[in-house]
């Protein structure tokens, strides 16, 4: 079990086993808050990052961002730094180089704006402004009628 500990206004994480404990993350954080699915949002020197609590406790997003916000149930995290936006999802960090990011995603494609141009980015970090290319692998038809 992991517990958040506080010392002199800073926070860290310990792991306990009976009457013994190990410090698993040093007491250097301004804050540690639960995000989702064993994920902790940490703040160090005013910057945010993500820490995954599992058998291999590790930082998955370094605490260098101005803010990190969880979006929806799909564990998309919006990363903001220097007025730019990026994304963390399922082990992939898309660096904050976009002016705007529209979530939710559609089949892994996220609508992004860069240099006053809207386009799409997929989880593999490929950017395109061609809407048809973005949906090439996920063909479907949109309908406006409701069927009863």
Q: Which two tokens stand for residue 134?
A: 């973005």
Question: Is pLDDT at 35 greater than 90 in this prediction?
Answer: no
Q: Report the C-alpha gap between 99 and 104 in whole angstroms.
A: 16
Most confident of 2-6, 26-30, 50-54, 139-143: 26-30
pLDDT category at 28 given cuts 50, 70, 90 is: very high
SS3 133: helix
What confidence tens digit (pLDDT) does each residue in 54-108 have?
A: 766 778 899 999 999 988 766 788 999 999 999 888 888 888 999 998 876 666 6
Question: Is pLDDT at 146 greater than 80 in this prediction?
Answer: no
According to the model, what pLDDT value does residue 105 have?
A: 64
Question: Is pLDDT at 110 greater than 90 in this prediction?
Answer: no
- Percentage of residues in the chain having pLDDT higher than 90: 24
Q: Report the C-alpha gap between 113 and 106 in whole angstroms.
A: 16
Q: Which two tokens stand for residue 65?
A: 């961002």
Question: Is pLDDT at 19 greater than 90 in this prediction?
Answer: no
How would you class 88 by CB atoms within 10 Å of its CB: exposed for 0-12, middle for 13-18, buried for 19 or more?
A: buried
Q: Report the C-alpha gap between 126 and 143 in whole angstroms.
A: 28
What confidence tens digit (pLDDT) does each residue in 50-64 have?
A: 988 776 677 889 999
In sequence order, what are the beta bridge partners of 100?
Answer: 113
pLDDT: is 125 or 119 the higher one?
A: 119
């Amino acid at each position: 079990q992991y517990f958040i500990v506080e010392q002199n206004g800073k926070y860290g994480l310990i792991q306990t086993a009976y009457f013994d404990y190990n410090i698993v993350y040093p007491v250097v954080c301004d804050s540690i808050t639960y995000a989702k699915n064993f994920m902790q949002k940490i703040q160090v020197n005013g910057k945010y990052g993500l820490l995954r609590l599992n058998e291999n406790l590790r930082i998955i997003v370094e605490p260098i961002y101005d803010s990190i916000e969880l979006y929806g149930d799909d564990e998309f995290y919006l990363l903001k730094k220097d007025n730019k936006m990026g994304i963390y999802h399922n082990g992939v960090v898309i660096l904050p180089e976009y002016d705007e990011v529209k979530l939710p995603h559609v089949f892994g494609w996220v609508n992004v704006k860069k240099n006053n141009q809207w386009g799409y980015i997929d989880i593999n970090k490929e950017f395109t402004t061609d809407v048809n290319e973005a949906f090439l692998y996920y063909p479907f038809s949109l309908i406006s009628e409701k069927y009863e």
